């Protein structure tokens, strides 16, 4: 028991003292938020299909590049250097956004309104929670005694 307290905490996989998952996680955050914005623009543009294509590409990029962040986060969680809750939220986000990408594969207005837009909103909220949780766990607020 005393040995467990004296052992240094496991450090996450890092580059230049920055956790690699914290470097990679902003990619799906930006892509999924961008997909939400392009879905909103599509819904307000009277069906201009270019916004549907933008959403589809942003979802694909977020899923593909976010898989690397998920893999690094999984390795860190197994090693005990990251939160399993953050990894679980990331997996739930990927499932929601994968379903969203399948919905966006449909043609025309029904690809976005209403189900695609709803899934984009849920996915954006989940990825923001995932990113926030990761930063709050890794960089806790230190309060000094007055």
pLDDT > 70? residue 145:
no
Q: Report pLDDT for 47.
A: 86
Mean pLDDT of all residues in 49-77: 94
Question: Is residue 135 pLDDT above 90, yes or no?
Answer: no
More confident residue, 47 or 143: 47
**Would you tell me how many other CB atoms lie within 10 Å of the CB of residue 67?**
14
For residue 29, which of 97, 124, 133 has the smallest C-alpha distance? Answer: 124
Is residue 111 packed enough to be buried (19+ CB in 10 Å), middle (13-18) or exposed (0-12)?
A: buried
**Which residues on neighbouring strands pair with residue 18, listed in sequence order?**
15
pLDDT > 90: percent of the chain: 64
């Amino acid at each position: 028991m005393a040995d467990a307290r004296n052992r240094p905490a496991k450090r996450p996989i890092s580059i230049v003292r920055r956790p690699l998952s914290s470097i990679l996680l902003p990619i799906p955050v930006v892509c999924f938020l961008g997909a939400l914005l392009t879905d909103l623009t599509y819904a307000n543009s009277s069906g201009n299909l270019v916004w549907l294509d933008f959403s589809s590409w942003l979802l694909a990029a977020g899923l593909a590049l976010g898989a690397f962040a998920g893999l690094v986060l999984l390795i860190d969680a197994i090693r005990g250097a990251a939160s399993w809750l953050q990894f679980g939220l990331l997996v739930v986000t990927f499932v929601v956004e994968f379903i969203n990408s399948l919905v966006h594969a449909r043609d025309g207005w029904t690809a976005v309104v209403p189900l695609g837009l709803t899934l984009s909103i849920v996915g954006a909220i989940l990825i923001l929670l995932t990113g926030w949780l990761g930063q709050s766990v890794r960089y806790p607020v230190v309060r000094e005694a007055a």
